[in-house]
Structure 1
Amino acid sequence: MSKALEGQGKTVLITGASAGIGKAFADVFATNGFDVVLVARRIEKLEEVASELESKHGISTRCIAADLAKSTSAKKIYDELKREGVTIDALVNNAGYAITKPFTEAKWKDHSDLMNVMVNSVTQLCYLFAKDMKANGYGRIINLSSVAAFSPQYGGNLYGATKAFVKDLSEALDLELKKHNVYCTALCPGFTRSEFHDVMGVSSAMDKLPKWIWMDAKTVANQGYRAVMRGDVRYVNGILNKSLVTAMGFLPGKVKYFLSEKQNVF
């Protein structure tokens, strides 16, 4: 089978699939022959993406409108696909956002919703679909972590903490599942051009950053796809980000703490 068709007969589920990295992942998987289940809150956007994928790649799509901030959403997604007889062979947990207020000034519901999206839903979707993947003898899981997982985040503290959780969870799952031909990759991009910063209301602050630190969503998704297909347990996108993560591993804790304090972009 040609590389372009390695996903033939298989289906990927992607959360946060209406824009940005999630949309880019949908295109990458479709390019490689996967049918695609698109999950996000905005059904109109999902249907636009689905139409593009079907026209461009000739694959099948399904759209599921779901708010992962609700604790019941992950199970509802799983149950709906089970009822329809859809087997999920690959999973991309991409949905995410950040709270730009200081920790104690944000409402608790805002924190709770964020943790549902970026911790609880990620964990539950992995739990539900990994069991089926294990039984089927094939599975590929990409969980979106971040370079923010490697040091404390001033001004985005809960975001960095959730990304650290996702990184550690992914690595632990890979240890447990790889003997069943189920690979889990923690994908760790840095600054990536997408709607993310517009939604968070920090685009003006992001525009002040030098252009050379940015990556585009398509590159991030392509690298993530290749990483999980190779069985990489962790992949840091971009030479700059790899260098930063490596350097942070050698820095004393106090130095890392000091640098984090100076990097508040909010």
Structure 2
Amino acid sequence: MHTWHWQTWQDLPYLTCSLLNSFPHGFFTQQCSPRPPAELIEAVQPQVEVYRVRQVHGNAVLTPTEIDSALQQTTESVPETETVELPPADGLLTERGAQAVWVCTADCVPALIADIKTGQVAAVHAGWRGTAQEIVPQAIARLQQQGSQLEDLRVALGPAIAGEVYQVSTTVAAQVGATVVKEVVADTNADVDRVLDALNQLPDSPLLRDPEPGRARLDVRRVNALQLEQLGLAPEQIAIAPYCTYQHADYFFSYRRDRLKKVQWSGIVSTGD
């Protein structure tokens, strides 16, 4: 069983996961806000390169080289008086050691991925839209292109809104859930109800009942875990934080709870050459 541990930096709490013990990392709390990754990295591993992106709820995954290239092109076309915008993406993966990749979340899933053999890592922002577009498998596909083997990967899914309090439309639930019942979706007649029925039949289903017609409760982290297992990762390669951003108001921002655009950051540092 993977364990999650509270750490402190400057008396501020953040979480780490035993699954990623050999990688400097952290899932930071609202207490650490509004500090950006450039400051938070001091808690994890100082003096490494820090990368983040402009998150857009898609499934693009970028490397530091791609981020730098996009920034260079933007800088050349933007007047000096204007702020240069980060490239749009929702996942980042490293290319060598001493690179830190960061994502921010409020209720969405922060996924930190590490390769225990190559030392490369990825950070992913997986909301329901990104999960419906399989952003975590997308990040893993890019790691595989860099030489990763599935059995060497470790994935920690950090604090996010829990299924029992995450009410969505049945249409959204079906759209996200369709990624893990593809045999049903392959049937051209597969409607929302058929997808939901198939999800209900899964062991430890990510779909929970909701008393309101046309609504469902959806466990997005469980969908991500199922996507990973269907890729070929073993359950012991995956850890899910026992914290809900909506229910643990003392530690985490929740957009669903507060309707405020505030976030917490999660980051991980690559090792090796």
TM-score (norm 1): 0.39
Q: Which has the higher helix share?
A: 1
Which gives a bigger RCO, structure 1 or 2 (Cα 8 Å, sep 6+)? 2
